Structure 1
Amino acid sequence: MEIDLFGPGSKDGRPVMVLGEVKVRIYSREVKAFARKVARVRASLQGEILKVMFGYLIHPSASELATREGIILVASYER
């Protein structure tokens, strides 16, 4: 299984594991696929997981699903 971004971090002083995916275009199907990947590796990781997807174009349907799945979406034009 391939995960584009994997590493330890901190959020509000708490340790977290950052998992990320990078796509040019993010539609709801990409969000679903990433959520499935995270679910598969979840048992191997301890603590809170920060899920992030980076893309150039983010479709509105992806935004809605990502919110429900607890995934942060970052568009390349957002700084």
Structure 2
Amino acid sequence: MPGLVSGGWPTSLALGVLGALLGGRLDPALLGVGLGTFFEPQTWLLAVIGAGVLVLVYRAVKGRRPTTRR
């Protein structure tokens, strides 16, 4: 999963933020874990998992086209 995203850093930033929000909303509803405070490990873990899921969905929809560095 690591590597360049076809939209550059703005797309990476948007996917990370939206994925963190997605993880924070969906996981407590599905698993009943619940969010803690900002510094609790489960809060960070939910954010990272949500962002990873969103990146996988983005790549599945967008396709894996080779990207080039400028």
State if a TM-score over 0.5 links the two structures: no
The structure that is helix-richer by fraction is 2
- Shorter chain as normaliser: what TM range? 0.3 to 0.5
The structure that is strand-richer by fraction is 1
Query: Normalised by the size of structure 1, how large is the TM-score?
Result: 0.32
The one of the two structures with greater contact order (alpha-carbon pairs below 8 A, sep at least 6) is 2
